[in-house]
Amino acid sequence: MKNNVHEKAVAFIVVRLSSSRLPGKHFRTIGNKSLLSWLTGHLQSCQEVDEIVIATVAEAVNEPLREFARENNLSCFWYEGEVDHVTTRLVRAAEQYNADICLLISGDCPLLHPPLIDSLVSCLRDNPDADIVNVDFKPGKTAALQGVQVARRRAWELAEELSESPEHKEHHFPVIAHHPDKFFFVPYRLDPGFTGQDLRLSVDTMADLDFMNQLHRELTAENKPFRLPEVLALLEAKPELKEINAHVHQRALVETIYTILIVIDSGQDFGFGHLRRCMELGMQITERLGWPVVFVVDDSFAHTLLTEKGFSVYWGAVGRPPRNNDHGAIQTFQKTSRYDAVIIDIANREIDQDWKQNFLKNIPMVIMDKTEDWTLTSDVLIVPGVTCPVSNATWQAVDHPLLLQGKEFIIIRREIRQVRAKNIKKDIDLLIYQGTEDPIDRLEDPGHLNSLTVEIVTGTAEHFPELLARSKVYLSHFGYSFYEALFLNTLPLTWSLSGEADTDVQVFNQKFSFDFPVITPDNGGMNQLCNIIKGINERTNNQKQTRQNMEPTNSDKTSNKSSPFPFPRRVDITDGTPNIIAAIKKLMAARQFPDRIRPAQYHNSLN
């Protein structure tokens, strides 16, 4: 029987700004609006919702939520109790706002659909004996309306009484699923049009935010609104878009969460290779494992970029005095016991012999791209690429850390992967990477470059990935960007004043069977460079002429979508970050080993 007494329906948005995986995500933008603005805007369009309440906890970091509520004429429940007791917070909020029907709204889901929410509220109002609306849909599908639960307050109060363990109190009433016999559910059959395969529409990581922004860009280009029905139609037409965040790990109710510390060198004198690859590694650790990552740097540009990517960042170094912190607002790193493992990716800065005793003790340690004596007390050494100075065979001593090296551990950051997928035309002859003291400043005759299409970039250029994809030749000091160039079918050449290749360059060229000279700024070097580019252009033109003279087959049409490769063969490189993460995951699983120098059987367990 329908209840003739109007029941007050209140939507409670569960939100805190101290997310360990993507801090402040609710104020990060999707298109031209913040995630929270999209969410509240959809709720304000609901006809069956009487009030909207932002339910947060009394922490200084959450003050912007109170300001947002005031600016948007919303209520804000400022919970003074235990910050992790979500169930108690919600029950107290429901009591304060006299809610009869309670809508639990996850603050992570920007694609709420007002007509569906209204239908759920009406369903409960039409069934006064029911406690909770049970959304039913076809097995094997995923509900597109995510982050919404509609229940009567009495159901919340009973669920709070039943929530005795921390994992029950820290989540959105999971105890209800454990005691279904104590609640009266009214079924709501979800329209099949609001279901799908492998839908992930919440924002927990940077990959999720990238996914939402790509959806917004696609819909905006078609003059369509950023709404759930349009998003589902877009994903039906372009299912490949789901790959953007398909790798993101959905945390379980009970799960061990580790906090990973990453120490890097970046900026003047050190370049940006350590920053670029570890930023990608950190994001994928968070996305694939659900573990928060904290960075330690002593470079202001790196600090800014890492913060923009959603990391917590401290100012400092490891085993060395940090550079001056000109930005006093950047918090200095303090040694604490709250980190479960550390990854170190640093340049050739002198390290104290007792660095480990003065830094972090008794936690697993991974060191990137170093094999010096000071690294021997670590657990795992990872050399991502082909330039490792030692082989696995010569390294397998009992007292050595596990060595992982080779092409399968090359980190290719997402900006590079994304730009390759666009199949950009190669219309730049030469891309020169300009460092602090580059040979370009000492060219004997700059006129050699006049006949070429040339771009010059520095390490901080945001458009570097696209320029690299458009380029036929990339000229730089040897570094990690050489692998990115190969990934984008661009020929990397070494730039040197002396004309001599260092050991890494020699090994790199040998491993990839390259026979290209080191380019010098004198006339001889410039002539060599111009001849190489001339050969590439001739090869490209010959390929085009051959294709024009042949009747294209279906396979030819498909292959022509990708840019021509400038050298005789394609170099096969893929993103090896998942392989590194798998090793880190195994390391953490085996952390019960007490010895800092890992025994031989420990090496075997990680292989």
Residue-wise DSSP of 453-504: -EEEE-TT-TTHHHHHHHEEEEEESSSTHHHHHHHTT-EEEEB-SS----HH
Summarised one tens digit per residue, pLDDT across range 237-256 is 999 999 999 999 998 877 88
Residue 600 pLDDT = 41
> In the chain, pLDDT over 70 holds for what percent of residues?
83
More confident of the two residues 215 and 324: 215
At residue 152 the predicted structure's pLDDT band, cuts being 50, 70 and 90, is very high
More confident of the two residues 180 and 37: 37
Q: Residue 302 contacts by C-beta under 8 Å, 6 or more apart in sequence? A: 264, 266, 267, 272, 275, 295
Residues 352-372 have a mean pLDDT of: 77
What order do you get walking across the sheet with 185-189 strand by strand? 75-79, 51-57, 9-14, 101-106, 148-152, 132-136, 185-189
Residue 401's nearest CA partner among 607, 596, 605 is 596
Q: Is residue 515's pLDDT more than 70?
A: yes
Q: Is residue 605's pLDDT more than 50?
A: no
Q: Is residue 268's pLDDT more than 70?
A: yes
Distance in angstroms (rounded) separating the CA atoms of residues 532 and 566: 10
Residues 151-175 have a mean pLDDT of: 81
Q: Is residue 361's pLDDT more than 80?
A: no
Distance in angstroms (rounded) separating the CA atoms of residues 416 and 410: 13
> What phi and psi values does residue 53 have, to the nearest 5 degrees?
-125, 125
Residue 149 pLDDT = 94
Average pLDDT, the chain: 85
Residue 329 pLDDT = 61
- The alpha helices in 290-391, defined as continuous H runs, are 300-308
> What phi and psi values does residue 397 have, to the nearest 5 degrees?
-85, 150
**Token digits of residue 573:** 């490189």
Summarised one tens digit per residue, pLDDT across range 292-342 is 999 999 999 999 999 999 999 999 887 788 888 776 667 888 776 688 999
CATH numbers and ranges of domains, the chain = 9-197 (3.90.550.10), 260-411+580-606 (3.40.50.720), 423-549 (3.40.50)
More confident of the two residues 205 and 514: 205
Place of tokens 């639960």: 149
Residue 211 pLDDT = 97
Residue 300's nearest CA partner among 286, 314, 281 is 314
Residue 541 pLDDT = 77
> In the chain, pLDDT over 90 holds for what percent of residues?
54
Residue 558 pLDDT = 40
Summarised one tens digit per residue, pLDDT across range 408-437 is 999 999 999 999 989 899 999 999 987 655
More confident of the two residues 299 and 450: 299
Residues 210-231 have a mean pLDDT of: 97
